[in-house]
Chain A
Amino acid sequence: ETGVTQTPRHLVMGMTNKKSLKCEQHLGHNAMYWYKQSAKKPLELMFVYSLEERVENNSVPSRFSPECPNSSHLFLHLHTLQPEDSALYLCASSQGGGGTGGDTQYFGPGTRLTVL
């Protein structure tokens, strides 16, 4: 157990559906992240929140909408997705704001998303 949980673990949805992925961290961290992991590709950073403020948004399509209501919870709202959005979506947390550089990330188990 890494202290980061994600639900659901598996999700199948149609292109017209709306669903949400949930992440919760129990580590007292200040930063939370969403990554997309597709086969044979590096981890793609989607969003970063630090102290509940979004600090990075890597040109992610608007059909993905993050929400960070507090420093322990992070959501990824999904709507009108495409089949190419099928992937493993990983949440991570870290201390954040590393002035000296270097910050270990703790990952959840991921949500395996399939878009039909």
Chain B
Amino acid sequence: KAGVTQTPRYLIKTRGQQVTLSCSPISGHRSVSWYQQTPGQGLQFLFEYFSETQRNKGNFPGRFSGRQFSNSRSEMNVSTLELGDSALYLCASSLGQTVAHEQYFGPGTRLTVT
């Protein structure tokens, strides 16, 4: 089975621009979670989607948004980029509805905002 894939792997953007990141979960997985990792804040939860519905949202401004498609693929969007948005963005997929299911992480997208 193919693992979780994320595209692009690396991205450089300028302040004020917007960016869209993509995550394809493992086949059969219906839950996709997004995380931001920075040196200062560590790993932080952004949001989670299950069957095309956002189920949980972390403490991030409204500039961060996401969606999930019927094939479970997910995208996250960051508008009006700020320097502090430079980070590694990771997505993880799991089978189902609770944390009793193991999460499988993608390789991440490293975003640099200049």
Chain A partners chain B: no
B-side residues, CB < 8 A to A, are: none
A-side residues, CB < 8 A to B, are: none
